[in-house]
Structure 1
Amino acid sequence: MAIRKGKEYTGAIGDVIWRKYRKRMIAQSKAKRVKQTIETKKSATRFGIASTIAGRMRQGFRPSYSHKDGTMVNRFTTTVRSILDSCFDKPANTHTFYPDSFNRLIGFAFNEKSKLTDSFFVNIKLSIEDDALRIRIPDIAIPVQFNFPARANYCVPRISVFWFSPATGRELSRHRELNAVSNEKSILPAQEIIFEAPKGTVCVVALGLNYYYLRNDIKTPINSEKFAPSGICGAIVNPGEFPEKDMGKELYKWASHAGLKVPGTIFSDTSTPILEEDPGITAEEAMLATEMAQKKELDAAKNEKAVEVARNLKMLGLADIDIANATGLAVEEIERL
């Protein structure tokens, strides 16, 4: 059943579903019931885990990004899924995490229109020493390595750290504002921030730049949907067993989420090995999957355009059969417009 909202409809009409996508109405065919195999169920489970991890990370980073673009959620989930796939040993049904397994997240932008790397030209370095996460920010030359947009003369950088234990499903996030920065030419001295990082955890760091126009101690925000530099600037894994039984009251700071548990979690303290080929998918399969995705996207765009043309022709009073011949749509689809 479809519901009318003003001039638009949302919901199902026959075999067609009307919905809003990126501020436009689109029509798509109802998904057909597909019988899942054991392999497709396992793949769906892994996707569910990746989706949960990505979602909890986004929530943990929320204080560091004020605006995201429309594709951020999908881009982020896809990246996390690719990381888990690269760590997955299909025959053994295990995931092996190395210290640099999550490095693929570094440089991820929460808003593609306003990347952190377009405003902040500094490499933040992460290390773990004696179960302590050290975040080192080198000297920064203003404005060469730290750009200010027009009208902004003041910036408050904010760091967010998200930890999770893939073996136990525990998670924790912490946030800290760095020293405020003015747009006057200067050299910011290096900083080091230290957090605890228990063994058996994945640590990911995000940075957001909050710009203001400061005058008479009044801060006027400059950030907007089009300009809000933020992104992930570091990731590292502390291998070992999560010390759940030895943490005492500290454990209460760590939330528990069953969806964060990764089956067959194994940690290694060596770097990720370089594989000659991906054992999970062949080059031919990858190419075919890419072609199918591109074809699906192209078909959806063509169908959307055809529906738009058909609707305009129907408003002009043309017969449904003539519209069908002109657009390639079925007469039944034209009748439902």
Structure 2
Amino acid sequence: MAIIENGYLRGQIGNLVNRKVGNKNVVQTKPSDKIQQTRWTEAASRDFGTASSAGALIRRAFRPLHMDIHDSGMHNRLQQQMQRVLRGNGKQLQGMLHVQRGNIQRLVDFQFNEKSHLYDYLYFDPKVSFETNGTTSIALPSINAQRNFFIPKNCSHVILKIEVAGFNFRFKNFQTIGSHEMEFPIYSQNGEGTDPQTLIFERQDKHHDSIVVSLSILYITKNGSYTFLLNSEDLNPVGIIAAYNL
């Protein structure tokens, strides 16, 4: 608000400040608190947005595995990991970083639940290989529930879930290429394991720029006709086991 005092205008109207200097009425623009972004900060902001949207895409793609049961910092950890992916193939112009020009393999071993690292609960290593045509092969050894998994209290069955997803990060979309689920009773295998097998997944969409493979372990207990899931925020092993730039 401004007022006229002794013939002079004093006070503020909008972003204009009126004051008396000697016998003159001076009008000035009020300085802005907003700091204008430089082209460098704008470029860094674009790269941050690229990493953030890519991380969100991965979270959505593998929600059937992590089921939103994860530590509170997972979103930030994944965004930071995607920033490392963007910087994984030499220096590039700031503000122009893209996943397909980075190194998606830097995602390998990312844990969706920091409180339960996958390989603290899985006692074998799936062998994943990628072909240039986009075919994904996953070789599994003979598996026995008691020998190859950590078994929590009250658990009667273990479920191993594998999912392969293709991503087009530039257009912010993904497609599930394939999934596989295996259930293992803990006390009825009599020390025997499954036969070794190789899973083959063929992609149909030729527009993917990356393929990512995730694995999770579900713990259940069966009581008559009821099945209870034992996974919780403290026990939900799920992680990325392989990734490939096409």
Q: TM-score, normalised by structure 1?
A: 0.55
**Is 1:79 aligned with 2:81?**
yes
More strand by share: 2
The residue aligned with 1:221 is 229
Q: How does 1:220-239 map to 2 (within 5 A)?
A: 220-238=228-246
| 1:142 and 1:186 in contact (8 A); partners too | no
The residue aligned with 2:194 is 188
SS at match of 1:89: coil
Structure 1 pair 44–153 and aligned structure 2 pair: CA distance change class (3 A):
same
Q: Distance in 1 between matches of 2:93 and 2:66?
A: 39
Deviation (angstroms), 1:88? 5.5
Which residue of 132, 137, 141 maps to 1:138?
A: 141
Q: Distance in 2 between matches of 1:49 and 1:96?
A: 8
Deviation (angstroms), 1:115? 1.8
User: Deviation string for 1:170-225 (max 9, x for gaps)?
Assistant: 42125534221111333232232222233752111111211111233431211122
Q: Distance in 2 between matches of 1:221 and 1:94?
A: 41
Q: Distance in 2 between matches of 1:233 and 1:165?
A: 19
**Is 1:154 aligned with 2:160?**
no
User: Deviation string for 1:272-297 (max 9, x for gaps)?
Assistant: xxxxxxxxxxxxxxxxxxxxxxxxxx
Count of matched residue positions in the alignment of Structure 1 and Structure 2: 206
| 2:139 and 2:199 in contact (8 A); partners too | yes
| 1:204 and 1:236 in contact (8 A); partners too | yes
Q: How does 1:120-139 map to 2 (within 5 A)?
A: 120-129=122-131, 130-139=133-142
Deviation (angstroms), 1:94? 6.3
Structure 1 pair 158–147 and aligned structure 2 pair: CA distance change class (3 A):
same
**Which one has a bigger Cα radius of gyration?**
2
The residue aligned with 1:206 is 214
Q: Distance in 1 between matches of 2:207 and 2:245?
A: 8
Q: Distance in 2 between matches of 1:193 and 1:68?
A: 27
Question: Alignment identity in percent?
Answer: 26
SS at match of 2:231: coil
Which consecutive residues of structure 2, in runs of 5 or more, have no partner in the other structure? 1-32
Which consecutive residues of structure 1, in runs of 5 or more, have no partner in the other structure? 1-31, 239-337
Q: How does 1:38-77 map to 2 (within 5 A)?
A: 38-66=39-67, 67-77=69-79
| 1:88 and 1:96 in contact (8 A); partners too | no
Q: TM-score, normalised by structure 2?
A: 0.74
For 1:65, the aligned partner's letter is H
Deviation (angstroms), 1:164? 1.2
Q: Distance in 2 between matches of 1:166 and 1:73?
A: 17
| 1:151 and 1:213 in contact (8 A); partners too | yes
Q: Distance in 1 between matches of 2:208 and 2:110?
A: 23
CA RMSD, 1 decimal: 2.5
